[in-house]
């Protein structure tokens, strides 16, 4: 199971520095869908807020200039950790050898760790109990990702597709595997995506904090996420 955690700005800067030093390979996926396959390149420098990437594959010379200004999703692996961020392509050149593009340094970044999370609970996913107004019973799904503002939850489509509509408010209850704490938070349904097997949906939920008690619970959750993020980075050696 994949859990994505937000990095602080300081942590993100450390990751960028390490990625430049390692000439990390980047998978760059422009959106909307300009390309059939992502761009691949190596990160060569952080030049005054621009990430200089030598391209290895993924686009013809004719299409490359058209990508300037496009938003993109970027993935890279450092010290066995998968890092994710979104940014914009600010320059692209076919005159250099190798071809090159420049990306704006991202404002935020996430770390996604499958290995360490499954070590805590290798066979069972983290259950998320979703209480839907007017439904006779809660819906139980499994956590797919979580950050400071919300989470993703995989739920059986037959059970829940008609129960939860975009904009609905629901109540979430879950326990993170690395802390002995039950989190109960009101949330709003923001997105619904059908999985490839068409039997489940991934529901994106944003936490709502209207009361002092809810805000306190949310701050405890954010502290737990920050602590786990630090541990993911600091115990793997290179990204310090």
Distances (CA, A) of 84 to 1, 12, 81, 107, 111: 16, 10, 10, 12, 6
What pLDDT score was predicted for residue 58? Answer: 53
Residue 119 to residue 80: CA distance in whole angstroms: 14
* Residues of the chain predicted below pLDDT 70: 1-4, 32-37, 57-62, 113-125, 228-240
SS3 237: coil
What pLDDT score was predicted for residue 114? Answer: 45
**Nearest-5° angle of CA 222, CA 29, CA 125?**
40
- According to CATH, the topology of domain 125-234 is Thrombin, subunit H (2.40.10)
Q: Which CATH code, of 2.30.110.10, 3.40.50.170, 2.40.50.100, 2.120.10.30, is assigned to 3-113?
A: 2.30.110.10
Buried b (16+ CB within 10 A) or exposed e, 168-193: eebebebebbbeeeebebbbebeebe
Bridge partners of residue 5, in order along the sequence: 111
Which two three-digit tokens encode residue 193?
């995506």
**Domain regions of the chain by residue span:** 3-113, 125-234
What pLDDT score was predicted for residue 32? Answer: 66
What pLDDT score was predicted for residue 237? Answer: 45
What pLDDT score was predicted for residue 148? Answer: 79
Q: Are 30 and 71 in contact (CB under 8 A)?
A: yes
Q: Are 206 and 187 in contact (CB under 8 A)?
A: yes
What pLDDT score was predicted for residue 120? Answer: 30
Question: Which of 34, 31, 92 lies closest to 61, judged by CA?
Answer: 92
What pLDDT score was predicted for residue 173? Answer: 95
What pLDDT score was predicted for residue 231? Answer: 62
What pLDDT score was predicted for residue 234? Answer: 55
């Amino acid at each position: 199971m994949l859990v994505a955690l937000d990095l602080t700005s300081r942590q993100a800067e450390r990751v960028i520095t390490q990625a430049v030093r390692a000439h990390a390979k980047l998978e760059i996926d422009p959106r909307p869908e300009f390309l059939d396959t992502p761009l691949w390149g190596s990160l060569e420098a952080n030049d005054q807020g621009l990430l200089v990437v030598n391209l290895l594959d993924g686009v013809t010379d004719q299409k490359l200039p058209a990508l300037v200004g496009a938003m993109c999703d970027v993935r890279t692996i450092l010290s066995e950790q998968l890092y994710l961020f979104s940014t914009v392509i600010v320059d692209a050149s076919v005159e250099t050898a190798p071809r090159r593009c420049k990306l704006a340094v991202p404002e935020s970044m996430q770390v996604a760790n499958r290995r360490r999370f499954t070590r805590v609970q290798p066979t069972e996913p983290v259950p998320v109990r979703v209480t839907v107004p007017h439904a006779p019973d809660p819906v139980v799904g499994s956590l797919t990702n979580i950050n400071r503002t919300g989470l993703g939850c995989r739920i059986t489509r037959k059970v829940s597709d008609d129960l939860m509509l975009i904009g609905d408010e629901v109540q979430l209850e879950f326990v993170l595997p690395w802390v002995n704490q039950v989190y109960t938070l009101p949330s709003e349904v923001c997105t619904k995506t059908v999985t490839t097997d068409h039997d489940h949906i991934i529901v994106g939920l944003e936490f709502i904090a209207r009361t002092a008690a809810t805000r306190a619970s949310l701050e405890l959750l954010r502290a737990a996420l920050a602590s786990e993020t630090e541990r993911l980075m600091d115990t793997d050696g290179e990204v310090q």
